[in-house]
Structure 1
Amino acid sequence: MANHQAGIPDDCQSKAAPIDTGIEPIQKQTVDYVVRSGLAGGLAGCAAKTLIAPLDRVKILFQTKNPEFVKYAGSFFGLNRALSHIFSSEGALGLFRGHSVTLLRVFPYAAIKFVAYEQVRAVCIPSKDYETHFRRFLSGSISGVASVFCTYPLDVVRVQLAYRSHDKSRHRLLKAIKGIGYQASEKFRISNYYSGFIPTVIGMVPYAGVSFLAHDTCHDILRSKLLRRFAVDSEKKPRMDGKAPLQNWAELVAGGTSGMLAQTASYPLEIVRRRMQVAGINNARKSIAQTAATVFKESGVRGFFIGLSIGYIKVIPMFACSFFVYEKAKYLLRI
């Protein structure tokens, strides 16, 4: 994840004993560092999303109560049946419906998220003395909000494409983009592309905050005296902060754990967001409170966690892959 000692003022660095890593350190505030970390983050996001694209589509269909798939919701075997249904009716490419838009969204989203985290973290935690759980959480939350603000319209388009399971026309992407702008109104409205944005931002605070906090905390635990002999790869060159990189399994465990905790903390608001994003299809736009009340009336508390088991199946490998690729890319890019 982020280098724990990055962003230390020059006068503090000069007092510390220099660490011979064999690599010229790169200052975080330089354009070079931003470009490299953005590239690493973008590649990590694309790799992770591609890995779990079929599960992502099924989860959206369950969350939005698509009439064709509502009968499959609520069980693990339902997941298999839903995947089989999509494969038999739409072919293998159907499992990746809307994925091209996902990649267009996720590269800048992940790039902005990781760059923002590195930069915000350097400000919030300028030295080891400032290293607290709250500051880690705050840095992650701010980076998550920044990234989702810049890429949210593409996420709305992706959800619409995934929901329209019968539309197989060549121009379905353009139709979806245009349809969102005019949905529930005769006038084109930019605000339609930010439908459900407020609950997304509210949900992003625990989602991104918990994920980065958990990932950094897992790194601390894996580097502890008790586990470092098993988790740390001492044969490789040190990272830019002077620490030896973790073993592959340790990186995957840290990433997967962060994803599981982040998903649990933010899932109820994700349900509300998805329902708001597709409400315009049926001309039934509602506020956050109204949408939440509808979910509770239909399914009770359980309704806010429909698809969570699929969420775990999806988010654990996704975060494991994302953080793993990001850390490896940072190591290769010498940042």
Structure 2
Amino acid sequence: MSSITKTTAATETFKKIRSHDKHSTSYISRSFIAGGVAGSLAKTVIAPLDRVKILFQTSSPQFQQYAGSWAGLVQATQKIYNDNGPRGLFQGHSATLIRIFPYAAIKFVAYEQIRHILMPTRQDTTSFKVLASGSLAGITSVLCTYPLELIRVRLAFEVGKDSPVGLRSICQKIYHESAASLRYEYFHFPLMNFYRGLFPTIMGMIPYAGVSFWTHHILTEFCRNSLFEHTTKPSLVIGKLDSSGQEMRPPLKARIELIVGGLAGAIAQTTSYPFEVIRRRMQVYGAYDPSKFVGIWQTAKTIWNTNGFKGFYVGLTIGYIKVIPMVAVSFTVYNRMKLLLNIE
């Protein structure tokens, strides 16, 4: 073999190793794309339900009468459609996509990186480490994209034909609300208005993201190790090694992957839902009274005094309908995108 051939072979081998090195720019960029695409498709599937759920959670006066029943869900959807047409069901979805692509991308990339640090090989994998990796990944993604989340919620909250539903007008409205700057009056920093509800969001993300990734991991391993044939296309990974030098395993069948993702989403939603209700209320308080800042404990007290324990779970049924397909699609598309982009 000539020296040129040897050099070429060595170069190709080096590129292949680097492409599967989880800390390489190539791996991170492809993982970023896979996560962003997965999150965007998942959110698009459930966009109409997402808007109705936000209106229920935030006790919108025009929609409170519909909350709490399946018939109310249908009636609320019909009202939105009658008032604003099909576009009304996707109001705020453009802001959702602007937010969800980087949010999902950062979440999956952060999970991969943190997991690889805590668990460099399969033998190092434990339930606690998977849970911690998911929680830290969720917190990272929230801190990076929270203002976009608040804008998306406020866009979805605005109802009626005369409501300012434009992205620019909503941003201007939030910026000039004085609630957050009242609390930070010595700093005069109106950008803090875009971080209403951040604390309960982080509190809710710890169990949501952690339990979601943990449950998905546990159920995936169960399906792989069960007596039933739940994997497909082993030829895709035969002879391929992951970043730790171990043989890669074939993916689950699509329907099994969807079921596993759906169950992971349902369990995660149940554990974190009260925090979601609290943060939704805090996010829209500026629309009710821009001159007043309402903290997390006052918000929780208001919910308790108004509706009791069940107030923290208002809209949970819609939450299940929304989260189960969303998480199922998200995990499934992400895993398939990883195969498509040739990353473990």
CA distance in 1, matches of 2:280, 2:79: 22
Alignment map for 1:106-255 (pairs within 5 Å): 106-166=100-160, 172-184=166-178, 189-227=190-228, 229=229, 231-238=230-237, 241=242, 242-255=248-261
Per the alignment, residue 75 of structure 1 pairs with 69
In structure 2, the CA distance between the partners of 1:114 and 1:54, relative to structure 1 (3 Å rule), is same
Per the alignment, residue 35 of structure 1 pairs with 29
Q: Quick check: 1:97 aligned with 2:103?
A: no
C-alpha displacement at 1:188, in angstroms? Answer: 5.8
Deviations 1:271-324 (Å, cap 9, x if unpaired)?
000000011112243111110010000000000000000000000000011111
- Secondary structure of the corresponding residue to residue 120 of structure 1: helix
Decide which of 33, 36, 39 is 1:45's aligned counterpart.
39
C-alpha displacement at 1:174, in angstroms? Answer: 1.1
> TM-score normalised to the size of structure 1?
0.89
CA distance in 2, matches of 1:240, 1:47: 29
Are the counterparts in 1 of residues 178 and 190 from structure 2 also a CA contact under 8 Å?
Answer: no
CA distance in 2, matches of 1:58, 1:274: 13
C-alpha displacement at 1:124, in angstroms? Answer: 0.9
Per the alignment, residue 5 of structure 2 pairs with none
The count of aligned residue pairs is: 311
Per the alignment, residue 64 of structure 1 pairs with 58
In structure 2, the CA distance between the partners of 1:157 and 1:240, relative to structure 1 (3 Å rule), is farther
Are the counterparts in 2 of residues 44 and 325 from structure 1 also a CA contact under 8 Å?
Answer: yes
C-alpha displacement at 1:181, in angstroms? Answer: 1.2
CA distance in 2, matches of 1:133, 1:167: 50
Task: List alignment gaps of at least 5 residues for structure 1.
Answer: 1-22
Are the counterparts in 2 of residues 256 and 316 from structure 1 also a CA contact under 8 Å?
Answer: yes
Alignment map for 1:18-29 (pairs within 5 Å): 26-29=20-23
Are the counterparts in 2 of residues 181 and 188 from structure 1 also a CA contact under 8 Å?
Answer: no
C-alpha displacement at 1:233, in angstroms? Answer: 1.0
Are the counterparts in 2 of residues 182 and 188 from structure 1 also a CA contact under 8 Å?
Answer: no
Deviations 1:68-115 (Å, cap 9, x if unpaired)?
100000011111111111011100010000000000000000000000
Per the alignment, residue 270 of structure 2 pairs with 264
- Secondary structure of the corresponding residue to residue 225 of structure 2: coil
Are the counterparts in 2 of residues 37 and 115 from structure 1 also a CA contact under 8 Å?
Answer: yes
C-alpha displacement at 1:172, in angstroms? Answer: 2.3
CA distance in 1, matches of 2:87, 2:165: 16
RMSD: 1.7
Per the alignment, residue 86 of structure 1 pairs with 80
Opposite residue 101 of structure 1, the aligned amino acid is A
Q: Quick check: 1:303 aligned with 2:311?
A: yes
Are the counterparts in 2 of residues 240 and 334 from structure 1 also a CA contact under 8 Å?
Answer: no
Per the alignment, residue 338 of structure 2 pairs with 330
In structure 2, the CA distance between the partners of 1:188 and 1:140, relative to structure 1 (3 Å rule), is same
C-alpha displacement at 1:63, in angstroms? Answer: 0.3
In structure 2, the CA distance between the partners of 1:87 and 1:143, relative to structure 1 (3 Å rule), is same
Opposite residue 194 of structure 2, the aligned amino acid is Y
C-alpha displacement at 1:171, in angstroms? Answer: 6.9
In structure 2, the CA distance between the partners of 1:60 and 1:126, relative to structure 1 (3 Å rule), is same
CA distance in 2, matches of 1:29, 1:234: 27
Runs of 4+ residues over 6 Å off in structure 1: none
Per the alignment, residue 273 of structure 1 pairs with 279
Are the counterparts in 1 of residues 158 and 165 from structure 2 also a CA contact under 8 Å?
Answer: no
Task: List alignment gaps of at least 5 residues for structure 2.
Answer: 1-15, 182-187, 243-247
CA distance in 2, matches of 1:89, 1:171: 13
CA distance in 2, matches of 1:153, 1:234: 41
> TM-score normalised to the size of structure 2?
0.87
CA distance in 2, matches of 1:39, 1:236: 24
Opposite residue 176 of structure 1, the aligned amino acid is I
Deviations 1:219-247 (Å, cap 9, x if unpaired)?
101001323x2x11155412754201111
CA distance in 1, matches of 2:206, 2:155: 26
In structure 2, the CA distance between the partners of 1:149 and 1:131, relative to structure 1 (3 Å rule), is same
CA distance in 2, matches of 1:93, 1:171: 11
- Secondary structure of the corresponding residue to residue 223 of structure 1: helix
